[in-house]
Structure 1
Amino acid sequence: MTKEVREAFAIRRKMVVLEYARLAGSVTEACREFEVPRSSFYFWKKSFDAEGRSGLVRKRPVARHHPRQLHPEVVEKILHLRRTYHLGPQRIAWYLERYHGIQVSCSSVYRTLVRNDMRRLPKKVGRRAIHTRRYAKQVPGHHIQVDVKFLSIKAADGTRARRFQYTAIDDATRIRALRIYRRHNQQNAMEFINYVIEKFPFRIHTVRTDRGHEFQAQFHWHVEDKGDQTCLYQAAFTRAQR
């Protein structure tokens, strides 16, 4: 049984109870016959007298004046931004705060869209592709990215040995230097930086790392000491900037 059918049966039952009470001339007898509380009967009768048959439709209880309820003008702005520009909840909240000085949480915007059947965008509205943002510098040596790659090398006897490839790449010229070590520690990282400074044909300004365990305190102070001679210091980069 669908929701609409159940609602139709409920309205019909209420109408039968009200009609029975009118014909019998006794509310008590009608309530006893249909096992309906008197409070419910009078509530139905009041709604029926005020709105007719539509007053018997079961309404979801909602607070009339919630202290944190959005103002109708704010709701209209949210719906306008969604309908016209197809913005999401976060961008709508940002737009209202930026251009209208209205602070609304993303969750409030989302609930407003759901309440007004605007949760989903039209099917013909496509999503814009997110292009990769290239990270590059124009001056050689300004940014050197250093990272470590794990290698699995097959020996002559058929066994596999694990090695660690330290790589440094200049963002401007894409010149790179690499060395392979047996261990993955700060001592090898410091030795590799010395090798990079020696081999690169330009002055190095910044070394960017992911701050792994091989690029911690000892490595940091080693870079600081080298900075006295080469203007070198350490910075962090994210995975997206590699």
Structure 2
Amino acid sequence: MVKACPFSMRTLKYWLSHYRRYGMGGLDNESRRPKSHPWETPIRIKERIIELRRKTKKCALKLQWQLAKENIILHKNTIHKIIKAEGLTRKYRVRKLKYKYIGVPLQLGELLEIDVKYVPKLLENRQYYQFTAIDCASRWRYLKIYEDYSNLSAINFLKELITIAPFRIRAVKTDNGSYFTNRYTGYEKSTDPLNPTLQCF
């Protein structure tokens, strides 16, 4: 049987003895937790800590000082665990601040977002780029295809956008892409060539 079963002979004998003594209930998994602990705090000391806590409302450190006068030496963490296990710890209410944000509607042309993306497919084996401008208030948009995404293309797109837009453009929002900033041309103008100051065109 041991050869056909993946368990050891000792385990099989243990199961057999429990089955003969307790029946099918003896084969149930039982907890291996010890019934007692040699370093466990005595019951009378626990009751004394609980009594002092309910009577004086002192913290674990002050209870440690008071117990030391009674020749009971315990660590403050042990006292705190006993208090916490009995549910005698203080519950502090955390006040959650609720902020009410008031959204101010934008006006036409107050903010336009400009971004660049790759055209998904190649046209005549060439890669093209799409410049897109969207008005945050009316969602009006304007887009144009360019052969590259250089500073010159970004400037030309912005000039055409100012001319074509049916409203006055007050602000433009872009990312820190090299085609919208002086990332490459700002090295000569910056006092620190290794850390140029990025500025929009």
Q: Structure 2 length as normaliser, TM-score? A: 0.46
Q: Structure 1 length as normaliser, TM-score? A: 0.39
Structure with the greater alpha carbon radius of gyration: 2
